Amino acid sequence: MMNYLYLFINIVLLVLGQVFFKIGLERIGGVSLNNLWKAAASPAILIGLLLYVATTGLWFVILSRMPFSIAYPLQSLAYALGVAIAVFYFGETVPLIRWIGVFVILVGVILVAWE
């Protein structure tokens, strides 16, 4: 059961890393060769990078304890969480077809986790 908790934490941290990347990039107006240093010095982007380092370390723990055929597909829950954050935090509009895709991912996760 602890392995699934680690996996859940990993998914949340992975998505939070992406959220911080998005916030940082919005604050500097995107990234280009002209403002690459701004991106590198952005606190939000640096937090995102730290979260990615943490998730990589946690992912090593997960891979050492769980079958890859279960752990890796369950990581796809990050996509569903990402879409939810896009709607509720960033105020994005998500079309029905994308929600159907999220539903398909969730069904796939249930099938993979079924024991």
- In angstroms, rounded to a whole number, what is the distance separating the alpha carbons of residues 27 and 29? 6
Which tokens go with 11?
């998914």
Which tokens go with 27?
């604050």
Main-chain phi, psi angles of 90, to 5 degrees: -90, -10
Q: Is the pTM of this model over 0.85?
A: yes
Domains held by the chain: number? 1
pLDDT 10s digits, 32-72: 888 888 888 899 999 999 999 999 999 999 999 999 999 99
Which tokens go with 28?
């500097």
How far is residue 93 from each of residues 10, 20, 101, 115, measured CA to CA in Å?
26, 20, 15, 36
Range of the domain at 48: 2-113
Give me the pLDDT at residue 35, please.
Answer: 82
pLDDT band at 23 (very low <50, low <70, confident <90, very high): very high
